[in-house]
Structure formats: C-alpha cells, structure tokens
Chain A
Amino acid sequence: MTAYIIRRILWNIPVLIIVGFVTFGIAKLTPGGPFDTQPERRQLSPRVEAILRERFGMDLPFWRQFTRYMFFDVVPDPKTGEWKIQWGAIAGNLGPTYSSRGARTVQQELFEGTPTRPSKFYYSARLGVQALLFAVMFGIPLGILAALRQNTWLDYLLSLSSTIFVALGTLITSLILVIIFAVILNWFTVIPDWNDPVKPWILPTVALGTTSMAFIARLTRSSVLEVKRQDYIRTAQAKGLAGQVIVWRHMLKNALLPVVTILGPALAGLITGTLFVETIFQVPGMGRTFVDAIGKRDYSMIMAGSLIYVFFLGIANLLVDIAYGVLDPRISYK
C-alpha cells in the first residue's frame, strides 16, 4: 500500500512537468505578449517594455524560461549584484503577475486576502467544497431512496430527473437556474452582493453540484440494487433480522463503496466547472482569473492555472484511491 501511494505521488511529477511544458509552449506560441496584447493600442514605450522584458527574462531562450519558471535559475540580485538561486514553481514560487508589471506575485494574487475581501482561492475552494458536499449529501440519500422504492413512481421520477441533469451538464443547469430563480422568481439578484455570507453562494453551489449529485444518485441506486440481490442479504432476511438493520448494516456499507470511486471524476468535473460557473454567477474566484489571464497573456498566471488544477486533481484522485483501499479490504494495491 505504501509503495503504491509513493509510486502514485511520483507519477504525478512527470505529469505536472509535461502539463506545465505544454501550457508554457501554448502560452508562448500565442501571438502578442503581456505588454502588447493589442499592438494598435499599446501603452508602453519601447524602452520601458525592453526593461520589463529583461526583468522577466522574456528574451531568454524558451527552455531557459521554462526551467526558470518550473525549477530554478541563477540570477543576479538587483541590489547587490550577487548571483543567487531563484527557485521556481517546485518551491511554490508561481512567478510575478505580468499584468501588475511584477509588483505582485501570482501566489499573492491568488492566496492573499484581507478580512473584508477573502482571497480568490477562498472563493473557488469554498464553492467547490460546498458543491461537493451538496452533491454527496443529496445524491446518496436520493439514490438509496430510489433503490429501496424500486419501480414505484418515486423511483421513476428520481431516475428520470437524474438522467436529465447528468445529460444537461453544468452549463445548461446553471443557465436554467438563472432563468428560474433570478429572472422568473426574482429570488436572487443577477449581480451578487458578496458581503452576504449565505445568499450569493446558494445558486452557484447548486449549479455546480447538481450534475455530480445526479451522477452520484444514479450510481448509488444501481449499486444498492446490485447489493440487494446478494446472498448475504437473503441470509440476513432469512435469519429474521429487522429491515432497518439489514439496510443500514449490511446493504449500505457495501453499496456505498463504488460511489467512492466516482468522487474522483466528480471532483474533476467540479474543478473544471468552476471555470464557467464563476463567470456566470460572477464569483470573484480563481477560475475567472485564469480565463482572463489567457486573454491578457499573463504567462505566470496561465501556468499557475494549469499547475494548480492538475495538482489538486492528482491529490483528489490519490485520496479517492486510498479511501477505496481502506474501505474495501478485498482491494490490495501492488
């Protein structure tokens, strides 16, 4: 088990490097740079631009810029002129933001907040966690309910609606929620007030979580139905155990195992979903920042976006794998 975990963690390292390399390549291939995205409306004098290019090492060869960003580079200290090692993304230095002309680093931009204005990471992470909790807390009970009432109108209703929401996906679900709750019912304003601790979070959380919830409900239902047919359930019934005891102790414990496995893909969906759910509900989180960064050619921010997403996905999948191994004694990782 330990060897397996270590191997999985190590496998994430080349993945991160390759994803970083490809992202860096695409970002650099994009015509225009951070200081001249619109050449016809340039605001910088060529001299200032030359200084900035020098400072960010934009005239270095491509591989050198990449290794400087990902790993480290040896640079002279601007004050003393001494040569020293400048660590890159592997040490948590995600680089200067080009849009601030290097005044702020990416990690400050994303992770630093004030008491009145939380960080961008806070908004995205809170939204993601809330959506996942929403999906699990409603998806599993609804799936169990549908399975225990198999072939009743309740089961048909739940199955049909989960099929529909899985099919519609996060974008269309979000837009339908906007139409119903913000336009027709007028319960929420289209432009949210983020000082309110609860209200602006409701719609984006539901929008982001619904697809996963439907997915989880569907899987839970089929998993419970599968377990219901097993011999040990019949044995439990034959020896006269109470229905409740069978359901809770024998059925659910085994039926919920497969549900754990789809938490990985569900998390991936939630994480990419934040990219446009944040745009639609105007959440001041990381997703919107990354999309904007691509337009502004803010190379460090684009890189940070890919790396952070891949990093969290790797961790999430690893945790799911470990949880599965711990919960199911039949599984052994080699």
Chain B
Amino acid sequence: MTSPAKSLTNPIDIQALNTKPRSLWSDALARLRRNRAAMVGLVVIILYVIVAIAAPWLAPYNPVQQIPNNSLRPPAWVTDNPARMGVPEHLLGTDTLGRDVLSRLMYAIRVSLIVGIVPQVAILLIGVTIGLISGFAGGWLDNLLMRFTEIVAAFPDLLFIIALSTAFRETWLGRTFNGLLLIFVAVSLVSWTGIARLVRGQVLSLKEKEFVEAARAIGVPTAAILWRHILPNTLAPIIVSTSFSIPALISAEAVLTILGVGMRPSVDPDNPFPTSLGVMLTEGYNNLSSGPWLLSFPVVLIAGLMLSFTFLGDGLRDALDPRER
C-alpha cells in the first residue's frame, strides 16, 4: 500500500510539480496561437498598423497632391483603353482630381484604425464604469442606471449620431481633427449600452462568488475589491466584445461620411490625416461609372480590416471561454 506522500517519490510526479503553473491568460494565448483564422487576422491587423504608421515613408506621392492631366487613370494592369492607360507610376490608378489612389489608401487606413480604436476607449470607460457600479451597488442605483441604459439603447442610434453630427458640425467641436472628434463623441455617447449590460451581468454573478466574500471578510476596501478582484474577471468578455465592436465603429464612420455628415476630407498637404476609408468610399460611390476602381479598392481594404478583427474576436472568444476547456 502506498501512502500519498510516498507516491511523490515517483519521478514523473516530481516533474509535474516542478512545471510552472499555467494561468488562464497563458492558456488562452496558447489556444489562440493554434487558431489559424485568428492568427491570420492578427497578422493582417499588424500589417495595417505598420502601413498606417509608416504611410509618409511608404506612400509614393503626397495623398492630396493633384497631378495635372492625370485624372481618372485606371490601375496599372488595365491597358485595354489607349486613351486612358494605367501607368506603373500609379499602381492603383488616380482619382478624379489626379491624386494617387495607393497613397491615399495608405493614409486612409490611419484614420480608419484611429476611428476604430479611440471611440472604443471612451465606450469602455463609460460602459465598464456604469456596469461595475450598477452591478455591484444594486438596489435603487442599479435600477436607475439600468433604466437610463435602456433609454439610451432605445434611441435610434444612427439617427441620433447623424443629428448630433449635424448639430455641431459648424462649431469648434465639428472642425477639430477634420470632424473626427465630433464622430468620436457622437458614437461614444450611444454605443456604450451593450458593454454596460455585459459588465453588469458579469458583476452580478461574480459578487456572489466565494473569493469576493473572502476578500470582504479580511477587510479589503470596496474599491479594491472592484478593481483588483472583480474587474480582472470581467476582462475576457470585454476583450471579446471590443474586437467585435471595432469593425462596427470603422463601418459607422463610413456610413456617416456617405450620408454627408462624417469626416471632412482635407486638401492641406501637411495634414497627417487627410482622408479616411469612408471618404474614399464616398468619392468612389459618387464616381461609380467613371472609375469603378475608386470604390473597389477602399471596399476591399475596409472589408479586410473588418474581417481581420472579427476572426481575431472569434479566436479570442474560443480561447478565453472557460466552458470550452
């Protein structure tokens, strides 16, 4: 008969004790690495980020420079029309004003990435705060905050964003950063409800757990319980929801710009953010019959960006969901 203590002398068991303990996060990372679609998404996102940062060095032309007698040139490989041939100097052709499409696309990616990320930070700040307070406090405060959330969620969000964008378009808010600041504010104000509900639901179940009770029993202050014990446990669903929210934000900018209340294109050659994928989609849509490539390239780029975030999000959800294990 072997006692438990004696069985530890078995070399295999000792080896098991010596291996490093694996955390949820390192486990999740390992699972994410095995997900091919998610890794492709991640690599594509990194490529977009590199192009966005390095646009001034990568772009062959200044994105707002109008080259005379060079308008509406098709992509370089289209050579069937001798009157309007593609030339290798403009790989993806030129637009109606003779600006190089490839250079414009590189700069546009910058803005679209920022549009996906900056409002998301604001959404997280508002949504997580309200969700944490609502779920942890309970009672009348919870009731009040949730009614408020419900009303904001009942707003026809797109109509509200359009109204806000129109209302403040001619003020300083609407002029700052080519109108992008106004888009950030308008979108953030109505988009936090989902994350608030998500976090509240998580907190409601977490605060009944033993580890929270234990923390309270040894006298950890409420703020520290929220910050150190509850918030880290809600991170997984927040990360997943973020990666699905970013493509929605990128598309929201495009929707607003197509409706004429989004970003204003800049003609200033020194502006580091002269155009966005939304602006290019709008310009392409307006010149659909004369230059179909003007719509096709931005559509492909924006679709690639949105799909990459979605595949990464799918991978993160599978990797972080403890039920899968």
Residues of A within 8 A of B (CB): 14-15, 18-19, 22-23, 26-27, 29-31, 163-164, 166-169, 171-172, 175-176, 178-179, 182-184, 190, 271-272, 275-276, 279-280, 290-291, 294-295, 302, 305-306, 309-310, 313-314
Partner of A169, one of B159, B247, B299, B314: B247
B32 at the interface (CB under 8 A from A): no
- B258 pairs with A276, CB closer than 8 A: yes
Least Cβ–Cβ distance between A319 and chain B, in angstroms: 16
Known: A178-B295, A313-B156. A30 touches B167 (CB 8 A): yes
Contacts of A166 in B (CB 8 A): 310
B310 CB contacts on chain A under 8 angstroms:
163, 166-167
Most buried by B among A163, A166, A178, A179: A179
Contacts of B251 on A, CB cut-off 8 Å? 168-169, 171-172
Q: Let me know if B164 and A26 touch, CB within 8 A.
A: yes
Q: Are B162 and A294 in contact (CB-based, < 8 A)?
A: yes
19 example contacts (A-B, Cβ-Cβ < 8 A) are as follows A15-B150, A19-B151, A19-B154, A19-B156, A27-B163, A30-B167, A31-B167, A167-B309, A168-B303, A169-B247, A172-B251, A172-B254, A172-B299, A175-B295, A176-B303, A178-B285, A190-B288, A306-B163, A309-B156
A271 adjacent to B156 (CB under 8 Å) = yes
Residue count of chain B within 8 Å CB distance of chain A: 42
The smallest beta-carbon distance between A113 and chain B, in angstroms, is: 23
A295 to B261, CA, bound (A): 9
Asked whether B239 is an interface residue with its Cβ less than 8 Å from the other chain, the reply is: no
How far does the Cβ of B22 sit from chain A's closest Cβ, in whole Å? 29
Q: Which residues of B contact A18 (CB under 8 A)?
A: 151
Q: Is the CB of B156 within 8 A of A168?
A: no
Does the CB pair A295–B155 fall under 8 Å?
A: no
Given contacts A302-B163, A306-B159, contact A175 B281 (CB under 8 A): yes
> A15 vs B148: C-alpha distance in the bound complex, in angstroms?
10
Q: Which residues of A contact B295 (CB under 8 A)?
A: 175, 178-179, 183
Contacts of A313 in B (CB 8 A): 154, 156
Bound form: Cα–Cα A14–B150 in Å: 11
CB distance from A282 to the nearest CB of B (A): 11
Q: Which residues of A contact B156 (CB under 8 A)?
A: 19, 271-272, 305-306, 309-310, 313
Asked if B288 contacts A295 (CB within 8 A), the reply is no
Chain B interface main SS type: helix
Scan B286-312; emit 1 where CB is below 8 A from any A CB, else 0.
001100100110010011001101110
Closest-by-CB residue of B relative to A175 is: B299
- Residue B166 CB within 8 A of the other chain: yes
Asked if A168 and B307 make an inter-chain contact with CB atoms under 8 angstroms apart, the answer reads: yes
Interface residues of B (CB under 8 A from A): 150-151, 154-160, 162-164, 166-168, 170-171, 247-248, 251, 254-255, 258-261, 281, 285, 288-289, 292, 295-296, 299, 302-303, 306-307, 309-311, 314
With A15-B154, A164-B307, A310-B156 as known contacts, state yes or no: A179 contacts B255, CB within 8 Å: no
User: What is the CB-to-nearest-CB distance from A233 to chain B, in angstroms, rounded to a whole number?
Assistant: 22
If A26-B167, A176-B299, A276-B158 are given as contacts, then 8 extra A-B residue pairs at C-beta distance below 8 Å, sorted by A number, are: A30-B166, A171-B254, A172-B251, A178-B288, A179-B295, A182-B288, A306-B159, A313-B156
Beyond A15-B154, A30-B167, A302-B163, whether A275 also contacts B306 by CB under 8 A is no
B191 to chain A, nearest CB (A): 13
What separation, in Å, do the CA atoms of A333 and B302 have in the docked complex?
43
- Establish whether residues A22 and B155, one from each chain, have CB atoms under 8 Å apart when the complex forms: yes
* Shortest CB distance A184–B (Å): 8
B5 to chain A, nearest CB (A): 43
With the chains together, A172 CA to B306 CA distance in Å? 10
Given contacts A172-B251, A178-B288, A31 and B299 within 8 Å (CB-CB):
no
Structural contact, A19 and B155, CB atoms closer than 8 A: yes
Give, as a whole number of angstroms, the nearest-CB distance from B305 to chain A.
10
Whether the Cβ atoms of B307 and A275 lie closer than 8 Å is no
> What residues of chain A lie closer than 8 Å to B311, measured between beta carbons?
163
Report the separation of the CA atoms of residues A295 and B166 in the bound assembly, to the nearest whole angstrom.
Answer: 7
Contacts of B167 in A (CB 8 A): 26-27, 29-31
Q: Are B154 and A172 in contact (CB under 8 A)?
A: no
Give the complex CA separation of A113 and B310 in angstroms. Answer: 43
Closest to A166 in B: B310
Report the minimum CB–CB distance from A297 to chain B (whole Å): 9
- Residues of chain B within 8 A (CB-CB) of A302 are 163
Q: Are A172 and B259 in contact (CB under 8 A)?
A: no
Contact partners of B160 in chain A: CB under 8 A: 22-23, 26, 306
Q: Which of chain B's residues have a CB closer than 8 A to the CB of A290?
A: 159
Residues of A within 8 A of B261 (CB): 294
Given the interface contacts A179-B299, A291-B162, does A31 sit within 8 Å of B154 by beta carbon? no
Contacts of B159 in A (CB 8 A): 272, 275, 290, 305-306, 309
